[in-house]
Amino acid sequence: MSELRVVSSCRELVSVIADYRKQGRSIGLVPTMGALHAGHLSLVERSLAATDLTFVSIFVNPTQFAADEDLDQYPRPLEQDLEKLSRAGADCVFLPDVSEMYPGNCTTSIEPPQVSRRWEGESRPSHFGGVCTVVLKLLNLIPADVAFFGEKDFQQLAVIRQMVEDLNVATRIEGCPIVREPDGLAMSSRNVYLSETDREIALSLHRTLASVAEQVAQGETDSHLLMAEMRQKLIDSGVSRVDYAVIADPTTLEVVEEVEGTVVALLACQVGQVRLIDNCVIAR
Ligand code: PAF
């Protein structure tokens, strides 16, 4: 097990980074909200392979939760998280509290880019503003060479890529593949809230995406037909609500008329108490 350095204050973090920089070592950053699972650990692994030092941040960011969302209930198994990061070989974990990240006099926030407005942005209007603000703050505190984000949050990745480009942030953003449970459910910290019945229903997200990919492989290109079928399959399998089930351009996230080149199938559904998202990139 490597020695995991735990830093809680911005002041200490800045001096730790300065020391590492003097040694000329490259830095990777994996921003998380904790409750770490194999998906997060795959980002840590990727960072360990690509950079000299791997920083992980654990911060349940209040500004990306709406008032009626699960901020207070969000899982915070800190001891297990630190154990996992130690075992994985991460070098440093940044563990600020809310007052450290958002002191009382902090009134600046980021207006997220255009690509944030559709899909998740419609269901969660304040979400990406909070994500962009905290990610930019983290990248300012930890000016990593590369920052790693999971493709499970496909729109989040597109939003962050655009923000980093628009605001001339030097860090390269790397997207990493979705990690799934053996039965296909995309790993998520919120999966722990699923009842046994809901867990069965939740499998329909992955099955629906697999079926779209299969239909495209067999030559179907009419995206409106495919989108209607996606929605119907999800409803038939018992999800409580479909927020969106679309086939879109992977950069702009605008709906495409025809499946040509590379597209992304994106969906979000309510299953019992849990809102789940999943996606699949399809190349034709
Ligand atoms: O994906 C997440 O866990 C969060 O949105 C992030 C990127 C750590 C920002 O709080």
Report all structural domains of the chain as residue ranges with CATH numbers, in order of start. 5-176 (3.40.50.620), 189-283 (3.30.1300.10)
Torsion on CA atoms 64, 68, 72, 78, rounded to nearest 10? -40
For every residue of 27-78, DSSP letters joined together read EEEEEE-S---HHHHHHHHHHHHHSSEEEEEE---GGGS-TTSSTTTS---H
| Cα 132 to middle of ligand 1, angstroms | 9
pLDDT value of residue 180: 98
Q: Which atom of ligand 1 is nearest to the CA of 150?
A: 1
**Ligand 1 centroid vs 218 CA: distance in angstroms?**
36
Nearest CA owner, ligand 1 atom 1: 32
Ligand 1 closest atom vs CA 189? 3
> pTM of the entire structure?
0.97
Report the side by side order of strands in the sheet with 241-248: 241-248, 262-271, 274-283
**pLDDT for the residue numbered 2:** 60
Whole-number percent of the chain with pLDDT over 90 = 99
The per-residue pLDDT for 58 is 98
* Over residues 5-19, mean pLDDT: 96
Question: What whole-number distance in Å separates Cα of residue 266 and Cα of residue 279?
Answer: 4
Using DSSP's 3-state secondary structure scheme, residue 194 falls into coil
Q: Which of 37, 40, 127, 224 is catalytic?
A: 40
Q: Give the separation between CA 18 and CA 53, rounded to whole angstroms.
A: 13
Q: For a pocket test of ligand 1, which of 60, 64, 139, 140 has the largest count of ligand atoms closer than 8 A to its C-beta? A: 64
pLDDT per residue as tens digits for the range 104-134: 999 999 999 999 999 999 999 999 999 999 9
Contacts of 87 (CB under 8 A, 6+ apart): 1
- Cα(180) to centroid(ligand 1), Å: 18
Q: Is 189 in the pocket of ligand 1 (CB under 6 A)?
A: no
Quickly state the pLDDT bin for 30 (edges 50, 70, 90). Answer: very high
Listed in order, strand segments (DSSP E) in the chain are: 5-7, 27-32, 53-58, 92-94, 146-150, 172-176, 241-248, 262-271, 274-283
CA of 131 to the centre of ligand 1 (A): 6
Cα 186 to its chain centre, rounded Å, is: 12
> Are 44 and 56 contacting, i.e. CB atoms less than 8 angstroms apart?
yes
Burial class (CB in 10 A: 0-12, 13-18, 19+), 238: middle
Closest CA to ligand 1's atom 8: 32
Distance between Cα 30 and ligand 1 center (Å): 9
Are 191 and 250 spatial neighbours (Cβ–Cβ below 8 Å)? no
User: Which three-class secondary structure state does DSSP give residue 145?
Assistant: coil
Mutate to test the pocket of ligand 1, among 41, 127, 135 (most ligand atoms within 8 A of CB): 135
Residue nearest to atom 5 of ligand 1 (CA): 131
pLDDT at 22: 94
Pairing of strands 262-271, 241-248: antiparallel
Atom of ligand 1 nearest to the CA of 31: 8
Q: pLDDT by residue (tens digit) across 208-234?
A: 999 999 999 999 999 999 999 999 999
Q: Is 206 an active-site residue?
A: no
Q: Is the pLDDT of residue 1 over 60?
A: no
Pairwise CA distance, residues 171 & 24, whole Å: 16
CB of 198 shorter than 6 A to ligand 1: no
Per the CB < 8 A criterion, the answer to whether 235 and 202 are in contact is no
* pLDDT 10s digits, 38-95: 999 999 999 999 999 999 999 999 999 999 999 999 999 999 999 999 999 999 999 9
